[in-house]
Amino acid sequence: MSKKKVILGLSGGVDSAVAAIRLLEEGYEVEGLFMRNWDSSLNKDIRGNPHVNDSVCPQEIDYLDALESARILGIKLHRVDFVQEYWDKVFTYFLDEYRKNRTPNPDILCNKEIKFKCFLEKAFAMGADYIAMGHYARVRHHPEVELLRGVDPSKDQSYFLCQLSKEQLSKTLFPIGDMHKGQVRELAKRHRLNVAKKKDSTGVCFIGERNFKEFLKNYLPAKEGNMETLRGEVVGRHEGTMYYTIGQRRGLGLGGAGEPWFVLGKDVKRNVLLVGRGAEQEILYSNRAIITDINWLSKDFTERECTVKFRYRSKDIKATIKKINENTIEVHYPGRAKAVTPGQAAVFYDGDLVLGGGTIDKVYLDEELRPYC
């Protein structure tokens, strides 16, 4: 019997390289595919000049690292360009959401439209039986397709995979989903991989570790306005309400004696950013939300109990969900949650099982709409 062929997303990091090791150990025929999703020439400062640190493109460094990992492991590495697809399907959506004063999650859309769609189509055109990624998540193929959290709770990436379809998951392997990060690095060391000690990437993929606000200004020039307290006192100026996130503390330019300042909401009609001192402001809390763009992976339902995550790093919150229509869910969380933000993802779980996810649309405390947009 011939070996099953797997095309692996080899990114130049330790996780995908160790995923290759696991696949080879399991007897698969493995080839790597490096994705180029962003044109680094677009990373300019506010005057349109290239960033000083871009003299060597980080993507090119990653590609060279992936090439060396492939050489060490004895597998082929191909390269594919999805720059146009990323711009059309992910970055355009990202900008549109910011124009609406919402806070989008481009990584979720990138997984849905690029890594598990464009990549999958390319891989199957190359004769793949499966694709594989170095994500900390698990997929169960039998008796039915199910998505589960990764075993390492500090690295679990199931939140970012909530918009994948069962069809996409049925063709996907996550070789390191049952490992902890320390085990991944140890296995990389044993195989003398060049990326064994490489730092994990951080930040939004097309921005990296640059100043997020300065990057956005190149694409979304906005109007300055007042920062006001809930009592209407003007305490400062903002650079455009779209550049700020609910619950944000840093980068407000407000000081003085007392507790730190936080973003509490936005009055878009008046172009006012609402701020207040202290992290435990009542206005930041909610106990009900409307979730749209639902992708449901579990069996159909009308109402059920579960847990929900409103942010990648947030804790699970006990909730009850009720189906409004095929695209919309109402979620109640009596224990309340802080800074549940429109545009971000809500992901629902039953233990380790991912039930589905969608986009936070409106947020309430009882019947009162929170001033988040």
Q: Which residue has the tokens 């080879």?
A: 24
C-alpha span between 129 and 306 (Å, rounded): 34
Residue 210, Cβ density class (10 Å: 0-12 exposed, 13-18 middle, ≥19 buried): middle
Whether residue 118 lies in the annotated active site: no
> Which residue among the candidates 110, 118, 162, 306 is catalytic per the annotation?
110
- Count other Cβ atoms within 10 Å, centred on residue 149: 19
C-alpha span between 82 and 102 (Å, rounded): 26
Strand ordering across the sheet containing 77-81: 77-81, 29-36, 5-9, 130-132, 172-173
Pairing of strands 272-277, 225-228: parallel
* Nearest residue to 59 (alpha-carbon basis) of 80, 84, 89, 87: 80
> Which residue among the candidates 162, 205, 306, 373 is catalytic per the annotation?
205
Residue 150, Cβ density class (10 Å: 0-12 exposed, 13-18 middle, ≥19 buried): buried
- Would you call the peptide bond into 371 cis, given omega within 30 degrees of 0 as the criterion? no
Whether residue 306 lies in the annotated active site: no
237 DSSP β-pair partners: 226
352 three-state secondary structure: coil
Helices 58-73 and 14-25, axial angle in degrees (round to 10)? 20
Contact between 286 and 363 under an 8 Å Cβ cutoff? The reply is: yes
- Count other Cβ atoms within 10 Å, centred on residue 302: 7
Contact between 319 and 355 under an 8 Å Cβ cutoff? The reply is: no
Helices 14-25 and 181-190, axial angle in degrees (round to 10)? 70
Residue 330, Cβ density class (10 Å: 0-12 exposed, 13-18 middle, ≥19 buried): middle
| Active site members | 110, 205
